[in-house]
Amino acid sequence: MAPNTDQDAPIQTQNVNLNQQPIDCNPLHMHPYESIGSAILPVTFDGIGYKSWRRGVLRALSMKNKLGFINRKVAKPNGDDDTFALWEICDDMVTSWILNSLSKDLSDSLQYVNNARELWNELEYRYDQTNGAKLYQLQREINDLTQGYLDITGYYTKIKKIWEEISTLDTNSQCTCLCTRGGKTKRHKAEQDRRIIQFVMGLNVVYTVIQDIILMMNPLPTMAQAFSILSQEERQREVKPHN
């Protein structure tokens, strides 16, 4: 599990000394293949799915031994310290990695932050909200979501990101009890059925027939099965298009 970076948690800073640590274990060490234009995640964050994106960034920075630049565990040296210039280089690199993992609109609005820690705090303040207003916004967004110009994969990916963020924010929906009569399994199945219905309701009208077939199945298929059925139908339409 990635170290906790919450602002309210007590944090012990450490002064880094290059002469006291192995090079590979030193947070001020930069690998030759790392550059300011590198992206640490394959998918950019566009304002949706913050929790998942946050976990990915923390995991990536942990692998690069650079978490200390956003959780204050690698303290900024004094200006006359031998490691000051190297610290600034590493901090600028971490800042660039995070900015490169954001969509262009978000990145442009955060270009003038002073360091990686300030950038991380700003993102936490903007998107790490576990309140009713955020849940309301996500629920409105998913209710209005339709396939539109997206293909099946793109539509599923978009709606799944919103589902994941709602699940993360809505702690009341997360069952932690020890059910002995299958109650937890039934609740999970009911939630999956609700998502299936929500998913097929947003499909384009060309999928009306296959939509009815899916909804008439008893029991309703899993999300993976529904996605497979729709993907197959999409491929068939590409080979033999219908009016």
Cα–Cα distance, 154 to 145 (Å, whole number) = 12
Average pLDDT value for residue range 197-202: 93
| Mean of pLDDT over the chain | 81
From 100, 127, 154, give the residue that closes a domain: 127
Coil vs helix vs strand at 179: coil
Domain co-membership, 143 together with 50: no
Query: Is pLDDT at 33 greater than 80 in this prediction?
Result: no
Q: Give me the pLDDT at residue 204, please.
A: 94
Average pLDDT value for residue range 5-12: 45
In this structure, is residue 4 part of a structural domain?
no
Cα–Cα distance, 232 to 16 (Å, whole number) = 56
Query: Is pLDDT at 238 greater than 70 in this prediction?
Result: yes
Query: Is pLDDT at 129 greater than 90 in this prediction?
Result: no
Q: How many domains are contained in the chain?
A: 2
Enclosing domain of residue 103: 23-127
In this structure, is residue 200 part of a structural domain?
yes
In this structure, is residue 208 part of a structural domain?
yes
127 and 47 Cβ atoms separated by less than 8 Å: yes
- Alpha carbons within 13 angstroms on the beta-carbon side of residue 52 total 17
From 127, 144, 163, give the residue that closes a domain: 127
Domain co-membership, 158 together with 229: yes
In this structure, is residue 2 part of a structural domain?
no
Q: CA torsion sign, 131 to 133 to 137 to 139?
A: positive
Cα–Cα distance, 47 to 127 (Å, whole number) = 7
Type of residue found at 156 = Y
Domain co-membership, 46 together with 59: yes
How many Cβ atoms sit within 10 Å of the Cβ of residue 171? 9
pTM above 0.75, yes or no: no
101 and 45 Cβ atoms separated by less than 8 Å: yes
Copy the structure tokens of residue 159: 């709606």
Confidence category of residue 36, pLDDT binned at 50, 70, 90 = confident
Domain co-membership, 85 together with 110: yes
Average pLDDT value for residue range 201-213: 93
